[in-house]
Amino acid sequence: MNKFKKEATKKRAKEIEGLSIKQIEAKDERSALLTQLHGHFFPEETDFMMDSNVDAKERKRGENPMSQTYTDKVNAKREILGVPPIKDNGLPADDSSQKHINIEDTHS
């Protein structure tokens, strides 16, 4: 097991410590739902995963391989949602979109 997996396993153990099986299942379901919602509202944040070698090199140089029309459309949507625009290389500036989707449960 590599260091990343060990750390992830430790983090997971801390997160579920003291929780019942039902609470763990509910937590996992909520996490999966939040991931789906994020992917639905902010698909531009995972566009880089489908980059060709050329696109990846452009992003590394700080260039955005996405069309300007697409970038403008995405940034307009992000502004409406109160999330910072994507950077010049087409990647998100921070984790604001995650925070936007991950509304804390006030009923806990």
The Cβ of residue 42 has, within 10 Å, a number of other Cβ atoms equal to: 21
Confidence of residue 91 (pLDDT cuts 50, 70, 90): confident
pLDDT tens digits, residue range 17-50? 998 999 999 999 999 999 999 999 999 998 888 8
- pLDDT one-digit tens code per residue, 55-71: 889 888 888 888 899 99
Q: Where are the alpha helices (DSSP H) in 17-67?
A: 21-41, 53-60
3-state class of 72 per DSSP? helix
Q: Distance between CA 84 and CA 96 in Å, rounded? A: 7
Helices (H) and strands (E) in the chain, counts: 5, 0
